[in-house]
Structure 1
Amino acid sequence: MEKLKFEFLVKSAEDGKTNIMAITTITTSDDRVFKIPAEMQPASLHEQLINTPTYTKIKNTLKRRHQTRKVWINVTEDLAGIYMDDDGNMQFKDYFLEEIPPTNPTAGISEESLSKVLEKLSATKKNCEYPNLKKIAEKFVLEKFSAKNSNANQWMTIFESECDRFDICKDEEKIEVLRLFLEKSCLDWYSSMLIKLSLASEWGKWKENFCGTYANKGWAASRYAISFRYKTGSLLDYALKKERLLLEIRKSIDTGTLIDLIAEGLPHYIADRIDREKVVNTEELYSEIRKLEHLVSRKTIDRKNVSASYSKEKETFGKKKPCKICEKENRGTRYHTEATCWFKNQKSEKEIKHVNNNELEWELNDMDPKNL
């Protein structure tokens, strides 16, 4: 029994308000497609077809406008008499249906154009196989690593998670991307590893060597993070930096301990204004800190005013004055105190010597020669 494929379409009626079921094309078993004219497309004109069980299923399937389905239907003697003549030609109501020529995707395209299309497809495939790692690395949410980073293990964990996020799974690709996130002396380490292991080595060996080289096994970073305190500037900037330092040394630190350590580094007159019972997370702590920024800002302004006033007084009263003794002695303009002036000391010695000589002369004149 021969089969025909009918294409059903839900489209608008002539009034544009209601939907009707239409049959647009008929396809034979040898893939020849015949078009049904628009005036013959309404399913109501195909009485023998709409009485089949297949049409009932189609009607239940297509509910919205522009939906379409193509289904095969067995051609009974009644259907064959409607859609085919004795010679096998496709028809409907004594109207021969127009055959739609098969579409050839390369028809009308020159060999040169087709060659360019194939080259582009080949280049696209090549790019998919060898992605631009530098462009992908620019999207990483990760700081570059230097010897100053306090937690190499934690940094490596974030690096691997970013690689997974951008589907960088091959060992060689991870090793290449790692170089883009190293700086300063860490690049020397990378060059040494490249000589010893090469790019074709296992990523696990690179990771193990990296963590073993840069893992911080001392207590310096912990001491610095815990003892880090507010000095000047923004309170919020201090709090955010201390949180980062604490999380770098221990990512699993609980929220309560984190809040206590941040608050401990605040000035006491600031921390005492924050209700500890109401702060249950760092976001609330930061909100309270922002409300108190004006206190340190005012203190900074007062300190600046005092410093400026002191500088002005120092400039006014602290200027060195030329020595008057040197000016009287015509010794030039010299800046030192009169008490330390060398010429003053010399003058005093001359005056003392002159006075002493005069007294001695007067005493000799008054003495009785008999007593000599």
Structure 2
Amino acid sequence: MASITSKLYFHIIKRNNDEFELAGISENKETWYVLPEEMKDLSLHEALSTKRAIINTINSIKPINGYRKICIKLDDELRKEYYDEDENLCFLDNMLEEKIIDNKHRDEPDDNFLNERIKELEAKLSLNDNFKLQDVEKKFILDKFNKKQNPTEWIEKFENESRRHKILNPTNFIEALRFFLSGSPKDWYESNLKKIGLTNWSEWRKKNRI
């Protein structure tokens, strides 16, 4: 039986302008409990998302995929939401997957995150000021991917259109790609975004089974 602490740590990620994900919960920042995909939407966590500290936190996260790890003092409302009757950490009585982080490498994700953000900012600065990414759907001569096309050939056409409009940075390639995907290909995109990130276009290209 676990012993309930007086506080919990929450790992929050910004997935879109108005979408935030609760990626993990911890009692000690070493062992994290990961939520199932269908439970990660922060809006589902009513007791947590109304806390002033959480509201301030999500307002402070600016870049897409930016994140914060924040400590919240437990009250009765949070205890009810994140512990079962046997004092096990959970979410609404759903047991969570346990993930232990090696203390020797605990700082590495933050370093990688900062490097990713720097590369993304550099990419945005290098993009032609006369061309905004949200305009790609209008300006690209390219049909959205619908799974009937050959993925390799479609990716090549996408790359050609990107170069034609002087979108040359890998991060901008990846961000532009999302405007041409929907349905299961969009799920593929979101999965790769989490696994690969926004800077390694060559790795995305290897996994072109959209």
TM-score band, normalised by the shorter chain?
A: 0.3 to 0.5
TM-score, length basis structure 1: 0.26
Which structure has the larger Rg? Answer: 1
- Larger % of strand: which? 2
Structure having the higher helix fraction is 1
Relative to the length of structure 2, the TM-score reads: 0.44
Which structure is higher in RCO with an 8 Å CA cutoff and minimum separation 6?
2
